[in-house]
Amino acid sequence: LQNGTVPGERGKEDKSVKRGNWGNQIEFVLTSVGYAVGLGNVWRFPYLCYRNGGGAFMFPYFIMLVFCGIPLFFMELSFGQFASQGCLGVWRVSPMFKGVGYGMMVVSTYIGIYYNVVICIAFYYFFVSMTHVLPWTYCSNAWNTPDCAGVLDGNLSSHAALNLTRLLNTTQKRTSPSEEYWRRYVLDLSDDIGNLGEVRLPLLGCLGVSWIVVFLCLIKGVKSSGKVVYFTATFPYVVLTILFVRGITLEGALTGIMYYLTPQWDKILDAKVWGDAASQIFYSLGCAWGGLITMASYNKFHNNCYRDSIIISITNCATSVYAGFVIFSILGFMANHLGVDVSKVADHGPGLAFVAYPEALTLLPISPLWSVLFFFMLILLGLGTQFCLLETLVTAIVDEVGNEWIIRRKTFVTLGVAVAGFLLGVPLTTQAGIYWLLLMDNYAASFSLVVISCIMCVAIMYIYGHRNYFKDIEMMLGFPPPLFFQICWRFISPAIIFFILVFTVIQYRPISYNDYVYPTWAISIGFLMALSSVICIPIYAIYKVCCSEGDTLLERLKNATKASKDWGPALAEHRSGRYAPAFSPSTESHLEVQPLQPEKGAAASPLQGSNGSAHSQDSRL
C-alpha cells in the first residue's frame, strides 16, 4: 500500500505541500512516544505511587488508562489527523468551542515554561558530573550539615565512620549528601515562596542552553524534529535498563520494590488518589495539552492512528511502571542504609529524580560516567516532550493566521515563542523557584486538563454528533471506531471525569512542600492559573454566540455550534461524500492533487450531501 492508502484505493501523493508532513510514519510514532514518555515517567509517576499507597495506586491508574487515557488519546489523534489542523483550527467542527483550543494553548504555555526549568536542572547536573568525584558523594563539603550521612563516607577514615555510626544511633534527622546538595547548593532554597532571593546564575545559563537546543531542533518544524527523535526517544531505555540491573543488586532493594508493589487499600477510597491517577494519565499521555492534535495533524490522511494510539499509550505506561522499579529499588537501598522507612527517604516532586538517583549513582563503578549518561537521558526525555509543547503553540499561531507570509516565517514564530518561554522561566531559577515550579505543576497542569478533555468529548460526541464523527473516522481509516471506544467517548470517559472532579472538590487539600505550607495568596495564584485555561471556553463561546447570525438566542446557538464550511479533510482529493465540492468530474480530478486553500474566499463551498450519500461514498473507501 502506497502512503497509507486503504485497500482498494489507488496510490496518492497524500501530502500537504503547504503545511508539510512527517518524513515517514516511524517519525510520528517516535515523536509521540517521546512526547508521552517524559520526565513525568521518572519523577512524577513513582512519586505519586509513593504518596498514594504504593501498589494500590496501580488500580485507579490502569482503570483511568483503559477508560479515559487510551480512548481520549485515540480521539485526539483522529481529530487532528482528519482535519490536518492544530488545536485551534480543528474547532471548525464546532466554532463555539474554539475556546477549548485556546485553553489547550494556555495549558501548554504553563507546562512549557516550567518543564524546561526541570530540563535545565538536568543540564546542570549533567555538566557538574564531568568530574573525577561527584560533588554529592561525600559529606565533607561546605554546604553539608552535621546531620549528613553519606553512603561512602565510612570509607574515608575512622573519624567519618564513627560520625556515621553516631548519626545512625541517634534520633537526629538524617539526610543524604545528595539531598543536601540539592536543597542547600543547587537550589539554595529560600524559606518562603515570596522570598525569591537571587537568580541562580548556573541554572539561568542552563535554562538558556535548553531553550536554544529546543529551538534548533524545531528550526524546520517537524522536518527537523522528526530526525532528532530517532535518538531522543530510544536511548533513554538503554540507560533505564542499566540502572535497573544495578538497582536490583543493591542491599535493601527488595524492601523498596515491595513498598512499590504492596497495596495500601485504605488509600483507594481517597478521592485524591483517583484524582492523582487521572491527572497522571492526562499529564503523561499528554491528553488535552493540544500536542497530540498537533502532531497527528502532520500525518498523512489515511494513516492508521488507531493502531498508533494503542502502541504509544501502552509503551508510555509500561515505561512509567519500569521507571518505578528503578526508583524504588534505590529508595529501598537508601532506607536500608539510613535505618528509616522507605517513605521517609525521598524528596517531593522533581527532587526525587535529583536526590534518589544521584545517591544511587555514587555506588556505581566509574560513577561520573553513569551520572553523565543518566542526566543525558533525563535531558532527552524532557526534550521529547518540550519539542511537542513548543510545536503546539507555533502550529496553532501559524494555522490561525494562515497566510503565506507567516508560513514562510514560521522559524521566526518559533524563535519568538522560545524567547518568551525563556524570559517567563527566569523567576523559576531563583531561590524560591522550586516552590513556584511545584505550584504550577499542581494547579496549572492538573484538573484543568480534565475539564478541557471532558468538554472536548461532549463537543465532538453530542454537539457535532457521534454518528458524524464515526463516519469521519471510517472515511479516514476504512473502518469505524471499535464499539468499546464509541461507548467510552459517549458515556464512560465523560462520566468518570465528572465524578473525579466532584470528589476532588470535596476532598481538596492545600499544597505543601516537605514541612513548608504554602500561604493563602500563593494558593490563590495557583487557582487563578488553573482557571485561566478553563475560562477561555465560556468567554469564547459567549463571544461566538454574540457574533453569530440569527434573530433569537436559539438560532445564534445553532449557528455557533454548526460545523463551518471549511471543516473536513484539508486536501481536496480526500473531500468525498458530504465533503465533496460541487464541481464537475473534470474539475474534481484536477483538484485531487492540489491542497485545499484554507483562506476565506479561496475554499470551495462543500456540498452538504445526505447521510445516505455520504455513507455510500465512504463505504467504497
Backbone angles phi, psi at 16, to 5 degrees: -95, 100
- Any domain includes 579: no
Confidence of residue 618 (pLDDT cuts 50, 70, 90): very low
When divided into structural domains, the chain yields a total of 1
pLDDT(590) > 90: no
Least confident of 329-333, 345-349, 493-497: 345-349
Residues 6+ apart with CB under 8 A from 72: 285, 287, 288, 453, 456, 457, 493
pLDDT(595) > 60: no
Backbone angles phi, psi at 564, to 5 degrees: -75, 165
Residue 381 marked ligand-binding: yes
pLDDT(41) > 60: yes
- Any domain includes 600: no
Q: What percent of the chain has pLDDT over 90?
A: 58
Confidence of residue 340 (pLDDT cuts 50, 70, 90): confident
pLDDT digits (tens, 9 = 90+) for 368-400: 988 998 899 999 999 999 999 999 999 999 999
- Any domain includes 21: no
Residues 6+ apart with CB under 8 A from 258: 332
Distance between CA atoms of 294 and 287, rounded to whole angstroms? 12
Domain of 226, CATH number, reads 1.20.1740
Confidence of residue 604 (pLDDT cuts 50, 70, 90): very low
Residue 12 confidence (pLDDT): 52
Number of H helices, E strands in the chain: 29, 2
> Which of 355, 354, 540 is CA-nearest to residue 455?
540
pLDDT(124) > 80: yes
* Average pLDDT rounded to a whole number, residues 78-105: 96
Is the separation of the CB atoms in 185 and 179 below 8 Å?
no
pLDDT(342) > 60: yes
Distance between CA atoms of 471 and 484, rounded to whole angstroms? 16
- Any domain includes 574: no
Confidence of residue 592 (pLDDT cuts 50, 70, 90): very low
Confidence of residue 276 (pLDDT cuts 50, 70, 90): confident
Least confident of 19-33, 225-239, 511-525, 590-604: 590-604
> Which of 255, 289, 369, 276 is CA-nearest to residue 320?
276
User: In this predicted model, which residue has the larger pLDDT, 155 or 145?
Assistant: 145
Strand partners, 513: 516
Using the structure block, give the residue that is written with the C-alpha cell 523498596: 256
Confidence of residue 154 (pLDDT cuts 50, 70, 90): low
Residue 21 marked ligand-binding: no
* Average pLDDT rounded to a whole number, residues 435-462: 89
Using the structure block, give the residue that is written with the C-alpha cell 510514519: 25
* Average pLDDT rounded to a whole number, residues 550-564: 94
* Average pLDDT rounded to a whole number, residues 450-462: 91
Using the structure block, give the residue that is written with the C-alpha cell 504492596: 262
Is the separation of the CB atoms in 179 and 144 below 8 Å?
no
Domain ranges, residue 244: 27-144+173-561
Residue 477 confidence (pLDDT): 96
H helix runs in 200-290, sequence order: 201-217, 222-232, 235-248, 253-261, 271-285
> Which of 267, 309, 304 is CA-nearest to residue 292?
309
Q: Cell numbers for 368, please give them.
A: 561520573
Distance between CA atoms of 259 and 435, rounded to whole angstroms? 28
Determine the angle formed by the axes of helices 536-547 and 98-128, rounding to 10 degrees. Answer: 150
Distance between CA atoms of 52 and 415, rounded to whole angstroms? 40
Residue 449 confidence (pLDDT): 83
Burial 144-182 (b: 16+ CB within 10 A, else e): beeebbbbbbeeeeeebeebbeebeeeeeebbbbbbbbb
Q: Based on the number of CB atoms within 10 Å of its own CB, is 188 exposed (0-12), middle (13-18) or buried (19 or more)? A: middle
Residue 284 marked ligand-binding: yes
H helix runs in 535-576, sequence order: 536-547, 553-561
Confidence of residue 241 (pLDDT cuts 50, 70, 90): very high
User: In this predicted model, which residue has the larger pLDDT, 122 or 330?
Assistant: 122
- Any domain includes 612: no
Residue 229 marked ligand-binding: no
Distance between CA atoms of 53 and 31, rounded to whole angstroms? 32
Residue 156 confidence (pLDDT): 43
Residue 34 marked ligand-binding: yes
pLDDT(456) > 90: yes
* Average pLDDT rounded to a whole number, residues 589-593: 38
- Any domain includes 274: yes
pLDDT(621) > 50: no
Distance between CA atoms of 621 and 619, rounded to whole angstroms? 5
Residue 85 confidence (pLDDT): 94
> What are all long-range contacts of 335-343, with beta carbons under 8 Å and residues at least 24 apart?
335/252, 335/255, 335/256, 336/251, 336/252, 336/255, 337/149, 337/151, 337/252, 338/149, 338/168, 338/174, 338/176, 339/168, 339/174, 340/174, 342/50, 342/255, 342/256, 342/259, 343/50, 343/259
- Angstrom distances, CA of residue 330 to CA of 46, 247, 359, 377, 610: 12, 6, 8, 17, 62
> Which of 283, 253, 205, 269 is CA-nearest to residue 37?
283
Confidence of residue 189 (pLDDT cuts 50, 70, 90): very high
Residues 6+ apart with CB under 8 A from 71: 484, 485, 488, 489, 492, 493
- Any domain includes 387: yes
pLDDT(163) > 60: no
Residue 348 confidence (pLDDT): 57
Least confident of 237-241, 322-326, 495-499, 514-518: 495-499
| Averaged confidence pLDDT in the chain | 85
- Any domain includes 543: yes
User: In this predicted model, which residue has the larger pLDDT, 343 or 172?
Assistant: 343
Q: Cell numbers for 443, please give them.
A: 494547579
Confidence of residue 158 (pLDDT cuts 50, 70, 90): very low
